[in-house]
């Protein structure tokens, strides 16, 4: 990996010493480094462009021009803008509805939906003393239903059985009825993923959304997905009113630029980060820390 952005910017700042004012060309040089860093972190190109334009506008405004240390001021703007972009919005789950509050999990196959379903179930149960039911609508992969059963048991929550012979809508309705009857606080509905976006998948999850009226619709996305994350996020956010994002596999070695892309495209807040395969491997997303990781 190329040397860290902060080192490169420090060098440029050094070259600027003695200058009373930052010039447009200084800003251009620095923004070129920022652009490179974002691309190296796999932030999607249109998102990088938009971000750089916003930073430039701020940098050329009074915040930098006329400041005693324009270089540091610019670094500060980049950091703050990045953290603000990713950290905007309500990070807490909003489950303030007539129980059972439904959480609908959306995302591609392998993104980490089933694992995250169990992680959230455990979190709600242990930290917030909620009574949580999970159900799988993945009728295409019996193994996925079994996997949810296993991880739900690890979470200490209850699992509602489903079979590949049923229709996802039928399953979801039965689980919701059961959750109501047995006074569950939360029902988490895991859904089928596909390796790529397809219309059948989207229509199915849209009908689940309409029937369940979920309090939260979480889009689960693999932080390692890099540039592709933007297309996936676009398709899901056009199909569903997403209320939050879960960025998984942040324990991997990616710089996690997908966070910025997905936040930009969906407009939904990033609520959680997946940080291991284990049941307790989930954290509230920390935008400032993540900004540092993206910039390297």
> Does residue number 99 form part of the binding site for ligand GDP (CB under 6 A)?
no
Count of positions (residues) in the chain: 296
282-284 and 270-274 as β-strands: parallel, antiparallel, unpaired?
antiparallel
DSSP codes joined into one string, 259-293: HHHHHHHH---EEEEE-SSSTT-EEE--HHHHHHH
**Distance between CA atoms of 169 and 137, rounded to whole angstroms?**
8
Q: Is residue 208 classed exposed, middle or buried when 0-12, 13-18 and 19+ CB atoms within 10 A define those classes?
A: buried
Is the Cα dihedral 14, 15, 20, 22 positive or negative? Answer: negative
For residue 160, which of 144, 171, 147 has the smallest C-alpha distance?
Answer: 171
CA dist., res. 182 & res. 241, Å (int): 28
115 binds ligand GDP (CB under 6 A): yes
When the beta carbons of 9 and 124 are compared against ligand GDP, the nearer one is: 124
Question: Is 100 near ligand GDP (CB under 6 A)?
Answer: no
> Per CB under 6 A, which of residues 177..206 are in contact with ligand GDP?
193
Query: Which is nearer to ligand GDP, 116 or 237 (by Cβ)?
Result: 116
Least CB distance to ligand GDP at residue 249 (A): 4
Contacts of 9 (CB under 8 A, 6+ apart): 30, 33, 34, 71, 74, 75
Identify which of residues 26 and 147 has a Cβ nearer to ligand GDP in the complex.
Answer: 147
| 120 near ligand GDP, rule: CB under 6 A | no
- Examine residue 111 and tell whether it contacts ligand GDP (CB under 6 A): yes
Q: Is 217 in the site for ligand GDP (CB under 6 A)?
A: no
Residue 114 as a binder of ligand GDP (CB under 6 A): the answer is: yes
Residue with the shortest CB distance to ligand GDP: 274
Which of 213, 123, 135 minimizes the C-alpha distance to 174? 135
Please state the residue numbers annotated as binding site for GTP. Answer: 107-114, 190-194, 248-251
Based on CB atoms, which residue is closest to ligand GDP, 112 or 257? 112
**CB of residue 275 vs ligand GDP: minimum separation in angstroms?**
6
Nearest to 266 by CA among 223, 217, 226, 208: 217
Q: Indicate whether 113 belongs to the interface with ligand GDP (CB under 6 A).
A: yes
183 conformational bin, left if phi > 0, alpha if psi -120 to 50, beta if neither: left
134 binds ligand GDP (CB under 6 A): no
Would you give the binding string for ligand GDP spanning residues 229-258, x where CB under 6 A is met? Answer: -------------------xx-x-------
Pick from 70, 71, 100, 107 the residue near ligand GDP by CB under 6 A: 107
The site map against ligand GDP for 8-47 (x = CB under 6 A) is: ----------------------------------------
Number of residues that bind ligand GDP (CB under 6 A): 17
Q: Tell me how many degrees the CA angle 54-60-62 measures, rounded to the nearest 5.
A: 110
From the list 6, 276, 288, 293, which residue makes contact with ligand GDP (rule: CB under 6 A)? 276
Residue placing its CB nearer to ligand GDP in the complex, 126 or 146:
146
Residue 21 near residue 66, CB atoms below 8 Å: yes
- Binding residues for ligand GDP, rule: CB under 6 A, are 107, 109-115, 193, 248-249, 251, 274-277, 281
């Amino acid at each position: 990996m190329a040397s860290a952005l902060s080192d490169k910017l420090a060098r440029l700042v050094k070259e600027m010493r003695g200058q009373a004012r930052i010039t447009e060309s200084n800003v251009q040089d620095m923004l070129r480094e920022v652009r490179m860093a974002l691309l190296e972190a796999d932030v999607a190109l249109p998102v990088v462009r938009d971000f750089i334009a916003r930073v430039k506008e701020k940098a050329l405004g009074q915040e930098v021009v006329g400041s005693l240390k324009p270089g540091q001021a610019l670094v500060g703007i980049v950091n703050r803008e990045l953290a603000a972009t990713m950290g905007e919005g309500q990070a807490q789950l909003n489950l303030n509805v007539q129980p059972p509050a439904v959480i609908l999990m959306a995302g591609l196959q392998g993104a980490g939906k089933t694992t995250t379903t169990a992680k959230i179930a455990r979190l709600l149960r242990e930290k917030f003393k909620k009574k949580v039911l999970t159900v799988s609508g993945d009728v295409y992969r019996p193994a996925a239903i079994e996997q949810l059963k296993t991880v739900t048991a690890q979470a200490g929550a209850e699992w509602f059985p489903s079979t590949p012979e049923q229709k996802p809508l039928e399953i979801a309705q039965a689980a919701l009825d059961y959750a109501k009857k047995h006074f569950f606080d939360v029902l988490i509905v895991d859904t089928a993923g596909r390796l790529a976006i397809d219309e059948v998948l989207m229509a199915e999850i849209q009908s689940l959304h309409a029937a369940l009226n979920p309090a939260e619709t979480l889009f689960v996305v693999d932080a390692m997905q890099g540039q592709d994350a933007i297309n996936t996020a676009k398709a899901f956010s056009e199909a569903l009113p997403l209320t939050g994002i879960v960025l998984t596999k942040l324990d991997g070695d990616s710089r996690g630029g997908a966070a910025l892309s997905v936040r930009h495209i969906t407009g939904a807040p990033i609520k959680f980060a997946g940080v291991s395969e284990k049941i307790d491997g989930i954290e509230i997303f920390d935008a400032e820390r993540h900004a540092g990781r993206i910039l390297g």
